[in-house]
Amino acid sequence: MTNEEKVKQIIQRLYKVYPHPKIALKFKNPYELLIATILSAQATDVSVNKASPNLFKKYPTPKDLASAPVSEIDSYVKNINFHNNKTKLIQNAARTLIDKFGGKVPDNMRDLDSLPGVARKTANVILGCAFNKSEGIVVDTHVIRLSNKLELTNSKDPVKIEKDLMEIVPKKDWINFPLMLIQHGRDICTARSHTCLNCPLGDLCPDGLL
């Protein structure tokens, strides 16, 4: 079986378990997703979701966030890992939106990648989940772990992994494939010790064949 054939089977099976995959971060618009995704780096989605409702209620637009005192912003995100640095990043991102993009979150990789606190992974999240655009594939820790476990790549480098996946995953699935893989990694194939019984990918995974 080629990797192209294998990944098609993986996608078909995951769609049966996760027919409507979505990101765990809560957001109402591209601005909220941008800020939430920056805050989520090296932090749990749960911690971000706890903080974001009050944060967005206080600063509903980039203009509100751009002009707020740093200490005040930090008080809303203080329970998120690396909050001191992230407070500055989200404010600088908001200011860049005002200065360069008319207060709107851009919908292309180049402009998103120019924002403070945004790299390719974050840009892919925003493009896919806020604009339904696929310029690449989100590669987070779950995608790194499971794409290696399923032998879809032999790299630990997110850039190389994304390139490998883009070559074998149909473009129409670039948005949903990593979302399903992330959910599968959280629900069933966890990083902790676990059983492979009842895994929908059992015979497609080397661990499931042991």
Residue 193 and residue 152 share a domain: yes
Q: Is the pTM of this model over 0.85?
A: yes
Active-site annotation holder among 50, 140, 149, 163:
140
Catalytic residue among 86, 121, 164, 173: 121
CATH number at residue 34: 1.10.340.30
Q: What angle do CA 79, 22, 65 make, to 5 degrees?
A: 40
Residues 157 and 104 in one domain: no
Measured distance CA(32)–CA(210) in Å, rounded: 44
Which residues form the domain of 48?
Answer: 30-131
Q: Is 140 a catalytic residue?
A: yes
Same domain? For 51 and 11 the reply is no
Q: Are residues 8 and 56 in the same domain?
A: no
Residue that has been written with the tokens 């860049």 in this structure:
96
CATH of residue 152? 1.10.1670.10
End position of a domain, from candidates 82, 111, 131: 131
CB 142 within 8 A of CB 24: no
* Average confidence score pLDDT of the chain: 94
Same domain as 94, residue 17: no
Is the domain of 116 the same as that of 145?
no
80 and 47 in a common domain: yes
Q: 172: number of CA atoms within 13 Å, CB side?
A: 3
Q: Which two tokens stand for residue 193?
A: 């010790």
How many distinct structural domains can be found in the chain? 2
- Mean pLDDT is lowest, of 14-23, 60-69, 157-166, 189-198, for 189-198
Boundary residue ending a domain (104, 131, 158): 131
pLDDT at 192: 83
Task: Please indicate, yes or no, whether residues 109 and 153 belong to a single structural domain of this protein.
Answer: no
Angstrom distances, CA of residue 124 to CA of 119, 130, 131, 169: 9, 10, 10, 15
